Each structure stands twice: as structure tokens, then as C-alpha cells.
Amino acid sequence: MRSIKAFIITVLSVILISCGNSGTQKTSLSIVTDAKKNVAKLGETVKLSIKNPKGLEISSVDYTLNGIAVGETFTLDDERLGVQTITATVTYADTSEDITTKLTILNNQTPKVYGYNIINTYSHDITSYTQGLEFHNGELYESTGQYGESKLRKVDYKTGEVLQNIDLADQYFGEGLTIFNNTIYQLTWQEGIGFIYDVNTFEKTGSFSYGKSKEGWGICNDGKNIYKTDGTEQIWFLNPDTLVEEGKLQAYTNKGKIVELNELEWVNGKIYANRYQKNGVAIINPKNGAIEGVIDFSPLKKLVKQHSGLDVLNGIAYNPETKTLFVTGKHWDKLFEVEVFEK
């Protein structure tokens, strides 16, 4: 009996050792860049090499940056900013092995500073914890937050009159909204779900789940693509048909990443993003994530009614009819129409 048990244990040990040794063995090869701390700016040249401590006879090395072939030496041109992946396919002794490293790409320009002029001031519902703001056919649509207080509404921005309104169920915290192909898309914060409505009737026609982005903050569209923020530096691309996340931008300056991107608006080929708790707006290049400009709207908070529930600036809407920007905040009693200019 003992001999049978010993045989079984021996067989199992062989199986376990065999399983543990299956697959490609790691060789200690690694990618080396000449970029200090693996950080480089647009316009700079990066040189790659392979660290080969065991002296393997390497026959070839092929490099890619985010899946696109690059040479051993390459210049950063119009690549997306942020943390990107370099992969080397190394061939030695009739074996190929993929190894990776990370390269952080920064912009090579300092963001421009923009000022603004107030053109008009309108009434805004002081009870609204504004999360999303967007114009459609000359009328303003707004999404608001807070559990038990979240809503979706259409308003006459000149008078403040509420033209349509629906309340979200108490378990949902409303966030940004955008209107695409006569459909309203509204985010919720930590519930991992977005709602879909008919723009004319406000009838809820569906919903969608988030992917790798765990939270919903801001959302906008350029007429072809939908963009979504999650409170980090990331801006996600949503497939306009399926609403599945199919990629992302990372918002970076020439110094580093900018986090807590919130409400979004598409304005003349750029993404405008509120920064949570900053009372300002970042102007972002939608091709590579570069923050090209900043607008400091902090003085506006002093022009609204001061009260205990007053919170930060949030809500950007571009009116194509007037070619002006509209901004407000959480529990603000005013909506400001402004024109922006470079200082």
C-alpha cells in the first residue's frame, strides 16, 4: 500500500514539475532606452538597445511602440502622450521572445494661458449640482449629481425656465452628458452604468456599462467619436455604435500628467475639460492628449451668490449659434456666457 502511495506521489510530482516548467522561459533580457528615467518629449530622439547579461547569440531584434514598428533609433513625432509601451521581439537560437518596457512621453510645449470676457449673465438653478452641460438646437441640456437629487433636464438658457425634466433613481449619482445622433448619453459616477435617452421625449431607451474606466465623470462628442473621462488623466474613446471603450488618450503637459479631468465639451476641434476643484478648464489636443491651453475661471465663483452649499466651477457648453462658451458651477445661481482669448 505504501509503495502504491509513493508511486502516486512521484507521478504527481513529475506532473507538477512538468507543468511548472511549461511555456517560454524568461532569459533576463531587457530593453534599455537612453531617455532619462524613460521619460522623453515630443521632438526628441530615443535610442533603444537590449541588455543581454547572459550573452545570448541574438540574431535579430524588432521594436514596436504601441504596436507600430520603430527602429533602434526613432524620433517622437505625433505619438500619443503619457505612459506608452515599447516591445522588442528578440530572436536567438531559433527562439523568439517578446519583452517590454514603458516610455513616458511628454509634450514639448508649455500650455498657453487664455483669458475671457463675460458677454452675458443668465439665471441658473441654484439647487443644481451641475455635472454636464451641452447645447442642442439652441437649447441647453443639463445633467446634475448627488444621490437622491440627480436629474436630466432641458432649459431655456435665457430665462432659466425648465422645459423638460426627469429625475434619476436615488441610487444613481448623475454625471456628464452628451447628445449624439439625436440621442442623449448620461453618465453615472460609481455605478458603472450610463443611460441612453431619446432627445425629444426623454424616454430612456437603453443603458451601457463601462469597461476599464471604473467611474463616469465627463463625456462629449465631435460628431463622429465619443470621449469619456473617469476622474484620472485618461480620456476614453467609446465606439459610437456599441459604446465599448476602444482606446484612450492621456492628458499631459510638458511637465507631467493632469488628473481629475471632469466635464467635457468639444469646441472647434479641441476637447475642453473642467478640472475638478480647480475652477479652470484645460484645452486638449484630441489626437495626442497634449494640454495646449488653460483657462482660469476662478474669479467667476466670486460673482455668484455666496452660500454654504456653493461648490466649484463645473459645466462647459459651446453654443455654435453664438460661437461663445457657457460656464457655470455646482449650486451656482448664474450661467456665464463668455468669449475666450489668448493672453
Strands 82-92 and 58-65: antiparallel
> In 3-state terms, what secondary structure has residue 287?
coil
Q: How far apart are CA 338 and CA 114, in angstroms?
A: 12
Q: Tell me the CB-side half-sphere exposure of residue 201, using CA atoms within 13 A.
A: 5
Determine contact, residues 233/270, Cβ cutoff 8 Å: no
Count Cβ neighbours within 10 Å for each residue of 170-199 and write b for 16 or more, e otherwise. Answer: eebbbbbbbbbeeebbbbbbebeebbbbeb
What is the predicted pLDDT for the residue at 214? Answer: 87
What is the predicted pLDDT for the residue at 93? Answer: 86
For residue 212, give the DSSP letter. Answer: S
Please choose, from the candidates 250, 228, 229, 251, the residue with its C-alpha nearest in 3D space to the C-alpha of residue 240.
Answer: 228
Q: How far apart are CA 160 and CA 133, in angstroms?
A: 14
pLDDT in tens, 308-333: 988 888 999 999 999 999 999 999 99
pLDDT in tens, 185-207: 999 999 999 999 999 999 999 99
Q: Which segments of the chain have a pLDDT < 50? A: 1-25
Determine contact, residues 43/78, Cβ cutoff 8 Å: no
Residue for grid cell 471632469: 262
Q: Tell me the CB-side half-sphere exposure of residue 13, using CA atoms within 13 A.
A: 6
Q: Tell me the CB-side half-sphere exposure of residue 156, using CA atoms within 13 A.
A: 6
What is the predicted pLDDT for the residue at 276? Answer: 85
What is the predicted pLDDT for the residue at 94? Answer: 83
311-315 own/partner pairs: CB under 8 Å, 24+ apart:
311/129, 312/276, 312/277, 312/278, 312/279, 313/274, 313/279, 313/280, 314/130, 314/131, 314/262, 314/263, 314/274, 314/276, 315/130, 315/131, 315/132, 315/133, 315/142, 315/263, 315/274
Q: Tell me the CB-side half-sphere exposure of residue 294, using CA atoms within 13 A.
A: 16
Q: How far apart are CA 222 and CA 134, in angstroms?
A: 12
What is the predicted pLDDT for the residue at 4? Answer: 44
Q: How far apart are CA 167 and CA 152, in angstroms?
A: 6
